[in-house]
Amino acid sequence: MVTPAIFLSDVCKNYGPKQIIHKISFDVKPGEIVGFLGPNGAGKTTTMKMIAGASTATSGIVEVSGFDMSTEHHEASKQIGYLPEHPPLYDVLEVSGYLKFIANAKKIPRQTIKKELDRVINACQLEQVSKTEIYKLSKGYRQRLGLAQALLGDPEVLLLDEPTAGLDPGQIHETREVIKQIGTNHAVLLSTHILTEVTLICDRVAIINQGCLLAVDTPSSLQKASRETNRVNLLASGNINQLKAELENLENVHSVMSHKTQHDLTNITCNVSTEDAIETQIAKITTGISKLYRIERQQPTLENVFLKYIKKGDSL
């Protein structure tokens, strides 16, 4: 059995009388990327700080590489590379100079520093900017530099707090690719509030909301829950039974529900796949059978996915 690189058991965190984290338990194995998914304020950063040793759990067990963070903090910290949401970069330094400074701070042997800098610069695709002052870097390159400093010393565990926050689509794609490559040789815990983030690059997903762990699930299960919250709502009148039957026959419509409103109108909800043109098909069928008053698309949201998991309760 593989020993987890990160292990949490019944972890709680209190600030004064208020409990922020409520008995959360999950693990991350070597060579695994686990997404820590939740909305802003869910408790992701607080949990990451406890794993990193920047904060202490009020109760429960936090272990990194087999070391207990409460009693073996010094040894555990050597195994951790941490990228906070806002990387602590020194703008006046060049990229390579900053990385050399961090390497010295991490007490990497002097004779291996050059080799180590070359390794992380290559892994994070920083070759083109290695001699550039940090203040001149785009946000995408700054995030990559933050990843590079976390990788220095080849720690077993990488903690990445919102690593793509504030990036443009191109930068997000590049950063995700770097993380995927890194994840083959490290245990990675990646916090995010973006659904697509975890479905694209993570092996498992730990879902947290209001300090409570709702589930630890696979990206495929998360995608299924996401699909179930992808809906087209319409308001119609006329032959509703025939309309429902026709809509249910559409390839990308999974289910159809309806209920009457005032003035003899009917609200109809179609659970659909992510097919972009499905509204057009639904509107065409509806106007051919009934009178259509309104149609709108409800895209999957993090909150709706949470509701799906909350309703599943203890079955997860």
- Residues 229-252: tens digit of each pLDDT: 788 999 999 899 999 999 999 988
pLDDT of 306 over the 90 cut = no
pLDDT-derived band at 172, boundaries 50, 70, 90: confident
Q: Which of 159, 150, 152, 155 is nearest to 62 (CA)?
A: 159
Of all residues in the chain, the percent with pLDDT exceeding 70 is 92
pLDDT-derived band of residue 314, with 50, 70 and 90 as boundaries?
very low
Q: What pLDDT score was predicted for residue 316?
A: 39
Averaged pLDDT, 57-72? 94
Beta bridge partners of 297: 232
230-299 is classed CATH 3.40.50.720: no
Q: 311 falls in which pLDDT band (50, 70, 90)?
A: low
The pLDDT of residue 312 is: 57
Is 315's pLDDT higher than 50?
no
Residue 264 — very low, low, confident or very high, per pLDDT cuts 50/70/90? confident
310 or 179: which leads in pLDDT: 179
Burial of 226 (0-12, 13-18, 19+ CB in 10 A): buried
29: which residues sit within 8 A by CB, 6+ positions away?
2, 4, 5, 187
Of the pLDDT bands very low, low, confident and very high (cuts 50, 70, 90), residue 198 is confident
58 SS3 class: coil
What whole-number distance in Å separates Cα of residue 258 and Cα of residue 275?
21
Query: Which residue ranges make up each domain of the chain?
Result: 6-225, 230-299
The rounded distance, in Å, linking the Cα atoms of 17 and 300 is 36
Q: What is the pLDDT of residue 313?
A: 46
Please list the alpha-helical segments (H only) found in 168-314. 169-182, 195-201, 219-228, 240-248, 278-289, 302-312
Backbone angles phi, psi at 288, to 5 degrees: -80, -20
Measured from the Cβ of residue 114, the count of other Cβ atoms closer than 10 Å reads 12
- Answer yes or no: is pLDDT of 224 > 80: no
Under 8 Å between Cβ of 179 and 194: no
Strand 253-260 versus strand 266-272 pairing type: antiparallel
Q: What is the mean pLDDT of the segment spanning 202-219? A: 89
What class, spelled out in words, does domain 6-225 have in CATH? Answer: alpha beta
pLDDT at position 221 over 90 = no
Instruction: Give yes or no for residue 143 having a pLDDT over 60.
Output: yes
Q: State the average pLDDT over residues 135-163.
A: 93
Residue 227: burial class (beta carbons within 10 Å; 0-12, 13-18, 19+): middle
Decide if 316 contacts 217 (C-beta within 8 A): yes
Task: Output the pTM of the full model.
Answer: 0.75
Residue pair 126/144 in contact (Cβ under 8 Å)? The answer is yes
Phi, psi of 2 (to 5 degrees): -75, 130
Pick from 234, 227, 231: nearest CA to 298? 231
pLDDT for position 40: 82
